[in-house]
């Protein structure tokens, strides 16, 4: 298979790892209950994410790099910097630091099986009957380093070839500019291939050789199906510009409190087409959060007045 091209440096990552004088020593980082509460409310206002009191060690550990980069001695000093009105970039870097971005290709495979075995045949049938267009739009909300949207793109390319007139596209968003930079490069350790179906792996991944040994890259066809964009689910509105046949918001809602979670789900629903599907993580549930959704499969929902139009997965 073709080798990988030259990998470009990540300018944002370089900025966040700015050099500090060798004479500067990192202090022991601690946070008082009162200061932690200030960070809690700041992060909640910025993102809708609520850090529980059990996350004090996480906050200290994740922000230690920002203190080193800015040569600050304490989290109190850092807080005074990050709340300044002109420190938008630093607030963004703070969010990058505290968010968790665990993902992998074809994570939670039952969702992909449900798409291939239940949803895609319905879309194909409706298109043959002239009841839907061949334009397919899916949103990966909380896409992390890109494995989820690229997995979806591979599956769409297999089932809806452009040569047959289909137009599948994926919007992939995340709050972290750091992970979006990784996703756009589309280069991964080859050890991460294990969950990719063998036929899709062979068709849609390039193996690196020589100095790129041990790496793989998503092929251009798949990369061009995905549009990456920074988006904060805690914002009042989502400037996504269109409605979607399916929205994947998996393993993201667990970071919101009940009120923020309900607001996010309500806003996501506004961007679903009729009969559009919302996928959440298997560790999540929407019980008591909204009356507008009906489960059609484990952790798969449709707007309640549309649920009869979808076959429940057995």
Count other Cβ atoms within 10 Å, centred on residue 128: 9
| Two tokens, residue 7 | 């990998």
Say which of 66, 68, 96, 174 is annotated catalytic: 174
Say which of 10, 62, 104, 313 is annotated catalytic: 62
Does residue 29 register a pLDDT over 60?
Answer: yes
Please tell me which residue, 301 or 284, carries the higher pLDDT value.
301
The residue-averaged pLDDT of 207-214 equals 88
Q: How confident is the model at residue 185 (pLDDT cuts 50, 70, 90)?
A: very high
Count other Cβ atoms within 10 Å, centred on residue 215: 19
The residue-averaged pLDDT of 281-301 equals 81
Q: How confident is the model at residue 62 (pLDDT cuts 50, 70, 90)?
A: confident
The residue-averaged pLDDT of 37-45 equals 88
Q: In what order do the strands lie in the sheet with 293-297?
A: 226-230, 167-174, 135-141, 244-248, 272-279, 300-303, 293-297
Q: Are 212 and 3 in contact (CB under 8 A)?
A: yes
Does residue 101 register a pLDDT over 80?
Answer: no
Q: What percent of the chain has pLDDT over 90?
A: 48
Cα separation, 4 vs 15, in Å, equals 25
Please tell me which residue, 256 or 243, carries the higher pLDDT value.
243
Residue 261: per-residue pLDDT: 87
**Residue-averaged pLDDT of the chain:** 84
Domains of the chain in start order, with CATH, are: 11-98 (1.10.155.10), 109-309 (3.40.50.150)
The residue-averaged pLDDT of 268-272 equals 93
Active site annotation includes 195 = no
Spatial CA neighbour of 94 closest among 154, 51, 127, 132? 51
pTM, 2 dp:
0.78
Selection from 70-74, 191-195, 221-225, 273-277 with the highest mean pLDDT: 221-225
Does residue 314 register a pLDDT over 80?
Answer: no
Active site annotation includes 245 = no
The residue-averaged pLDDT of 248-259 equals 86
Count other Cβ atoms within 10 Å, centred on residue 220: 11
Spatial CA neighbour of 47 closest among 274, 309, 271, 230? 230
């Amino acid at each position: 298979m073709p080798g990988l091209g030259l990998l470009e440096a990540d300018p944002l990552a370089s900025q966040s790892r700015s050099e500090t004088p060798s004479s500067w020593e990192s202090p022991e980082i601690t946070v008082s209950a009162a200061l932690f509460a200030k960070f809690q409310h700041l992060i909640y206002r910025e993102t809708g994410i609520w850090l529980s009191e059990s996350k004090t060690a996480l906050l200290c550990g994740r922000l230690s790099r920002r203190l080193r980069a800015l040569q600050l001695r304490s989290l109190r000093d850092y807080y005074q910097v990050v709340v300044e009105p002109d420190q938008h970039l630093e607030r963004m870097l703070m969010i990058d630091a505290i968010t968790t971005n665990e993902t992998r290709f074809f994570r939670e495979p039952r969702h992909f099986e449900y798409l291939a075995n239940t949803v895609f045949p319905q879309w194909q049938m409706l298109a043959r009957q002239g009841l839907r267009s061949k334009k397919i739009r899916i949103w990966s909300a909380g896409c992390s380093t890109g494995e989820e949207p690229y997995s979806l793109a591979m599956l769409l390319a297999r089932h809806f070839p452009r040569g047959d007139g289909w137009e599948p596209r994926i919007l992939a968003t995340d709050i972290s500019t750091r992970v979006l930079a990784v996703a756009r490069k589309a280069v991964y350790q080859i050890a991460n291939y294990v969950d990719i179906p063998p036929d899709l792996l062979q068709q849609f991944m390039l193996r690196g050789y020589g100095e790129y040994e041990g790496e793989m890259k998503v092929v251009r066809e798949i990369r061009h199906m995905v549009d990456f964009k920074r988006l904060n689910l805690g914002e009042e509105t989502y400037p996504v510009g269109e409605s979607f046949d399916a929205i994947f918001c998996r393993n993201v809602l667990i970071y919101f409190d009940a009120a923020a979670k309900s607001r996010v789900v309500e806003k996501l629903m506004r961007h679903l087409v009729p009969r559009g599907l919302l996928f959440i993580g298997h560790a999540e549930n929407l019980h008591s959060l909204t009356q507008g959704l009906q489960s059609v499969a484990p952790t798969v929902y449709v707007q309640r007045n549309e649920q009869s139009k979808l076959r429940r997965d057995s």
